Structure 1
Amino acid sequence: MTQRVKEIFPGSPGQAAAGRGAPPAPAALAAKVRTLAPSMTRSMQRVAEAVAGDPAGCAALTVTGLAELTGTSEATVVRTARLLGYPGYRDLRLALAGLAAQQQSGRAPSVTADIAVDDPIADVVAKLAYDEQQTLADTAAGLDTVQLGAAVAALAAARRIDVYGIGASGLVAQDLVQKLLRIGLIAHAPSDPHLAVTNAVQLRAKDVAIAITHSGSTGDVIEPLRVAFEHGATTVAVTGRPDGPVTQYADHVLTTSTARESELRPAAMSSRTSQLLVVDCLFVGVAQRTYETAAPALSASYEALAHRHHPRGTKR
């Protein structure tokens, strides 16, 4: 076996995949900040928080002005702009101006408050609904469709597909596998970490391995992906941390967004929403590419389930 070595561009692991393509649209800027801020240095976080919190004010500042406002350096401002996906500070200022215009028109609502222990249930519903909608919108805005298309193509042609996830991400992995099975693909989502690695050893060039991990650093998910990568399988990471360790072994990185974590809304809740959106995008893309075989397979599964719920001889 020839060990694969992924080319990593200068910077954090995974920036090679995450940083390609056009700069993010203004609507995706806030999502980018939420996604990347936890992995930034404290000085870069101050810059990111400033531009996300007051896009109109920061858009009016020069690079020197923003550095002074945040107590950082011009170099830090430029590095932050590049990490967020912009070639330079000028491009970031243009995005900030666009985001400010959207907010003024009411198309980019401000973030609601966290859920409080004494919130009426109606407020809980409203806040959760808003956060879920915002998470989905942020994920859609920040999703790299080139990477998504490449992952879909690999899945559609795969001999076998393994999906790795632990905890809440494991439930998402099971969801994807169930969908793929219904269109006739061979897919597995081993829940035991040892079994996941054992399965990964059997993967080859025509196979696909998908790791789902919000943190990007879950060892029980990274290890089977590493093994699959080194055995020649096409690898995909679905993660909220495009600079996380998991992306070192990912040919394609699909970034998810998440709502703000709070005491009553842990990351596992908010990350699941965005992961399910990405999973649905993968499934629909594969079903489109394999429609001639996927459609009959779906019909057969629907018919089988219908017979299960309505045995022969009973009324429907």
Structure 2
Amino acid sequence: TAQLGAVAAACAGARRIDVYGVGASGLVAQDLAQKLLRIGLIAHAHSDPHLAVTNAVQLRPGDVALAITHSGSTGDVIEPLRVAFEHGATTVAVTGRPDGPVSQYADHVLTTSTARESELRPAAMSSRTSQLLVVDCLFTVITQRTYETAAPALAASYEALAHRHAPRTTR
């Protein structure tokens, strides 16, 4: 919980937040970035490793970079996190392997649960579910810390899309 609080504080005060992930972790990265945008934070998810590195070189102190990787050893996620770390951004690893290579470039590590892999790939399913739980907890704490600005931003984004949720009439 201490790590979660520290990451939430960094994100709440960040100029910009980049989230890196590929495969199933890329979907989790997109989920987190979308949630942060809805509460008025500048957040971008990057699944393309070239674009992730290109964005990471623009980060500086006061920015946050989060790498989401179940294995902790996904090179396409580690590289942009390393670049962000070298440019002074606050770096975070969301991983099931806190002793993995990604952690060497992480100021903070948020650990997810792990499952054994089998022929039906339940580890891929459980890792994504665990990652979603961690980013939802992170989002909740960030929203609590930024409530004065988050609540109106969330209401505005809901209102902007409300017409898309109107029931359709039948003929």
Q: Normalised by the shorter chain, which TM-score bucket?
A: over 0.9
Name the TM-score, length of structure 2 as normaliser: 0.95
Matching residue of 1:236: 92
Runs (5+) with no aligned partner, structure 1:
1-144
Is the counterpart of residue 303 in structure 1 residue 159 in structure 2?
Answer: yes
Tell me if 1:252 matches 2:71. no
Per the TM alignment, residue 200 of structure 1 is displaced from its structure 2 partner at its CA by 0.1
1:171 maps onto 2:27 in alignment: yes
Give the equivalent residue in structure 2 for 1:88: none
User: 1: CA distance between counterparts of 2:71 and 2:116?
Assistant: 14
**Distance in 1 of aligned mates of 2:165 and 2:122:** 37
Aligned counterpart in structure 2 of residue 281 of structure 1, from 137, 143, 152:
137
Q: What's the CA shift for 1:262?
A: 1.8
Structure of higher CA gyration radius: 1
In the TM superposition, what whole-angstrom CA distance separates every residue of 1:79-128 from its partner, at most 9, and x where no partner exists? xxxxxxxxxxxxxxxxxxxxxxxxxxxxxxxxxxxxxxxxxxxxxxxxxx
Query: Secondary structure of 1:212's partner?
Result: strand
Find the partner of 1:272 among 97, 109, 128.
128
Q: Is the 8 A contact 2:40 2:149 kept in 1?
A: yes
Look up the equivalent residue of 2:57 and give its one-letter code.
V
Query: Does the alignment pair 1:200 with 2:30?
Result: no
Sequence identity percentage = 88
> What displacement does 1:308 show?
2.6
| 1:161 pairs with 2:17 | yes
Is the contact between residue 114 and residue 126 of structure 2 (CA under 8 Å) also seen in structure 1?
A: yes
TM-score by length of 1: 0.52
Letter of the 1:227 counterpart: V
Query: How many Å apart are 1:305 and its aligned residue?
Result: 1.5
Separation in structure 1 between the aligned mates of residue 45 and residue 4 of structure 2, nearest angstrom: 20
Asked if structure 1 preserves the Cα contact closer than 8 Å seen for 2:92 and 2:108, the reply is yes
Partner SS state of residue 226, structure 1:
helix
Moved more, 209-218 or 257-266: 257-266
Equivalent position SS for 1:189: strand
5 Å-filtered alignment, 1:1-316, equals: 145-310=1-166
CA distance in 1, matches of 2:62, 2:71: 28
Residue 180 of structure 1 aligns to a residue whose secondary structure is helix
RMSD of aligned Cα (Å)? 1.4
- Tell me by how many angstroms 1:263 deviates: 1.3
The structure in which a higher percent of residues are helix is 1
What is the identity, as a one-letter code, of the residue corresponding to 1:287? Answer: T
Instruction: Provide the aligned length of Structure 1 versus Structure 2.
Output: 169
Q: Which amino acid aligns with 1:205?
A: P
1:59-95 C-alpha deviation (Å, 9 max, x unpaired): xxxxxxxxxxxxxxxxxxxxxxxxxxxxxxxxxxxxx
Letter in structure 2 aligned against 1:271: S
Which structure carries more strand by proportion? Answer: 2
Q: Which runs of 5+ in 2 are unaligned?
A: none
Residue identity matched to 2:62: K
Asked whether the 8 Å contact 2:115–2:122 carries over to 1, the reply is no
